[in-house]
Structure 1
């Protein structure tokens, strides 16, 4: 992305692994790392879910908000919230995960996926402290690249305040 734009709000039908709904606007002041995935996506299961877990373990203690977005655009009947709950348990995903709300017009593309113009899954969203979509990455991203970009955002100065010291 050339110029970061304000990240669109998430449209979530249900949150898992958290006691309260996460509002993107309320995350201002924090770096947000979100991973849009599907349970039946091979690239998500083999690469993105392990990355999401590692990002949560490494960067949440530094103040990053790490979130999964279950973004279903195919096989809707198989990917229920009950199945998602079991998937998160089996894969030991501990970060909050929001189930992307279905399209209101009957389209197969859920609302958050449409708002971001995602090409598919997995997609990582890197949102800076000001709530701007710093980067949107479709497909596999190397671990070192993802970690470096997250750390760059964490170390960036907060408007009218200090940056995070690693």
Structure 2
């Protein structure tokens, strides 16, 4: 599911920027994304990995990356980043301001970045940030609208002035 579709449907999106030849991506980032995907599969969260190549030597074909993902039993979708005009930083990495891999981002239901971490980050930190965004959205959706104005304690419509009491003499 593309990012814009996930946001349109109100999902939190967890994005991992990785490189196949990055030892930390292989040892930490990709396995973590798979664990999180299984742990939060019942929640309105979507997962996406973006494979980036920062040098011409590390470029891989989509077929190579698919074979790698299948060999390691990773089940989340992967996008291939394209070379950008800011070489050696690929286009999507540049657009998100990502300078290293692995970098994990959490995007809220509107597509705004709410969390970013490069390198190792605990599952608890990612889970807490994700659940907070889900809870905030549920609170917003379920928040009761304010009751209609019933007036002040004397039954007068709010915003009206009390007329002076006059007696005939």
2:42 is the counterpart of 1:61: yes
Greater CA deviation, 33-42 or 78-87? 78-87
Tell me how far apart the structure 2 counterparts of residues 140 and 74 of structure 1 sit (CA, whole Å).
Answer: 23
What is the rounded CA distance, in whole Å, between the counterparts of 2:58 and 2:31 in structure 1?
25
In 2: Cα distance, 1:109 partner to 1:97 partner: 18
Per the alignment, residue 136 of structure 1 pairs with 116
Aligned to 1:81: 62
- Cα 1:77/1:43, change in 2 over 3 Å: closer
Count of residues paired in the alignment? 141
Could you tell me the TM-score, scaled by structure 2's length? Answer: 0.75
**8 Å CA contact retained: 1:30, 1:129:** yes
Q: Is the 8 A contact 2:21 2:58 kept in 1?
A: no
Taking only aligned residues, the RMSD between alpha carbons, in angstroms, comes to 2.0
Assess, with a 3 A threshold, how the Cα gap between structure 1 residues 47 and 58 changes in structure 2: closer, same or farther.
same
Q: How do 1:1-166 and structure 2 match up within 5 A?
A: 22-28=1-7, 29-103=10-84, 105=85, 107-158=87-138, 161-162=141-142
What stretches of structure 1 of length at least 5 have no aligned partner? Answer: 1-21
TM-score by length of structure 1 reads 0.77
Deviation by residue 1:91-139 (Cα, 9 ceiling, x = unmatched): 1111111001221x37221110001111210001100112111112111
Q: Provide structure 2 residue ranges, at least 5 long, that are not aligned to the other structure.
A: 144-169
Q: Which has the higher strand share?
A: 1
Higher relative contact order, structure no. (Cα contacts within 8 Å, ≥ 6 residues apart) = 1
Given that residues 126 and 134 in structure 1 are in contact (C-alpha distance below 8 angstroms), is that contact kept between their aligned partners in structure 2? yes
Q: Which is higher, the Rg of structure 1 or of structure 2?
A: 2
